[in-house]
Amino acid sequence: MKILIINAGSSSLKYQLIDMENEAVIAKGLCERIGIEGSKHTYKVPGKEDFVEEKPMPTHQEAVSLVLAALVSPEIGVLSDISEVSAVGHRVLHGGSTYTESILINEDVKRVIRECFDLGPLHNPANLMGIEACEAVMPGTPNVAVFDTSFGMGMEPKAYMYAIPYKYYEENKLRRYGFHGTSHAYVSGETIAYANLPEGNRRVIVCHLGNGSSISASDNGRCVETSMGLTPLEGLVMGTRSGDVDPTVVQYIVNHDHISVDEVLTMLNKKSGVLAVSGVSSDFRDLDAAAEAGNERARLALDMFVHHVVKTVGAYIAVLGGVDAISFTGGIGENSPAIRAQVIGQLGFMGVKLDAEANKTRGKRTLISTPDSTARVYILPTNEELFIARETKRLANV
């Protein structure tokens, strides 16, 4: 059985075709500049040369048509007929407070995705375009929505409520949702399975550290805390996002610089974080190089990043009443021995110990704690597409 995974952005569409017999990627690719001049489709089959075509894609529907044409092409295709695609799984940013789990798409589900446009203004409209394009081009094939907010819906009210007038929760659904949920769900689940954690000892902390960073605490697979909030701006210091700031900072900048709240929010999302502190880059490889060469602001940016990760992990250990496993994922979590060593180094007081040799590994599922460590520590590369494929298989019942 083969499942197509679609991640539709406003002008792009990423996809993977996964064979569920062995969970292997058969083909994957990217349509770029949808609705813009110079649209481009890149199609990759493992072990073969990339295929690139530049054809007009005024909407996501033409993009999906081009993807399907490539998949069944006699020259470069991997399917003899498109009916071999049993179901399509869609990454959807926001399910609001309606959906706590992935769901088979029908008109009601599309209505809720539409109702959440104001909560996910950049992503939800694009996600819906991807869904409607598949419905138009592959009629009769089941579509499943996997929400990035589902995992955070596991939190209890004491964790997800903001202490602001209650009507904003009741009338406007303002609450903490958490993001990167697909990644946190996949990595926490895989951590439990890979570490073979017995029931009663499944307190897992996942550090998803990349350009966007978030941390989750879960118990037996259920999210107890996660660091992002109403939007991905809350929580850790990130590549270009500030993470937590006192809201008065926004008021001050509005009044001082005579710019709008929206402009300040754009600044906090796109021009802040380690990029702003260092003045060098949002990319941790550039920051490492600059700090190494003596750039003090790059060093400060790295120190701040680690400090906020440590502070959050410590708080989550307290909330969980202990921890059985900690997994690192995301571009930084998977590839930076230095960041992992600094974070875990701070947990030495509670007997968590890193195996320095194993910690040199990059990008590969690896146990990196010592046998006598009080919690197991892993590098566990995320695989959001595989999580979506598994959910799609389960819900489409194919």
The answer to whether residue 148 is catalytic is yes
Which DSSP letter does residue 84 get? G
| Given the residues 19, 148, 257, 288, the one annotated as active site | 148
Please choose, from the candidates 354, 281, 280, 346, the residue with its C-alpha nearest in 3D space to the C-alpha of residue 312: 346
Q: How far apart are CA 82 and CA 70, in angstroms?
A: 10
Q: Largest Cα–Cα distance in the chain?
A: 63
**What is the number of residues in the chain?**
398
Please choose, from the candidates 392, 368, 386, 364, the residue with its C-alpha nearest in 3D space to the C-alpha of residue 378: 368
The residue (of 109 and 301) whose beta carbon lies closer to ligand AMP is 301
For the bound state, the minimum distance from the C-beta of residue 360 to ligand AMP, rounded and expressed in Å, comes to 11
Tokens of 366: 């690896």
For the bound state, the minimum distance from the C-beta of residue 282 to ligand AMP, rounded and expressed in Å, comes to 6
Q: How far apart are CA 384 and CA 15, in angstroms?
A: 12
The residue (of 191 and 335) whose beta carbon lies closer to ligand AMP is 335
For the bound state, the minimum distance from the C-beta of residue 208 to ligand AMP, rounded and expressed in Å, comes to 8
The residue (of 114 and 285) whose beta carbon lies closer to ligand AMP is 285
CB 87 within 8 A of CB 392: yes
The residue (of 241 and 353) whose beta carbon lies closer to ligand AMP is 241
Q: Which positions lie near ligand AMP, rule CB under 6 A? A: 210-211, 239, 283-285, 330-332, 335-336
Residue closest to ligand AMP when measured from CB atoms: 331
The residue (of 312 and 329) whose beta carbon lies closer to ligand AMP is 329
For the bound state, the minimum distance from the C-beta of residue 290 to ligand AMP, rounded and expressed in Å, comes to 12
Give, in order, the Cα–Cα distances in Å from 273 to each of 13, 81, 137, 313, 335: 27, 47, 41, 19, 20
For the bound state, the minimum distance from the C-beta of residue 283 to ligand AMP, rounded and expressed in Å, comes to 4
Catalytic residues: 148
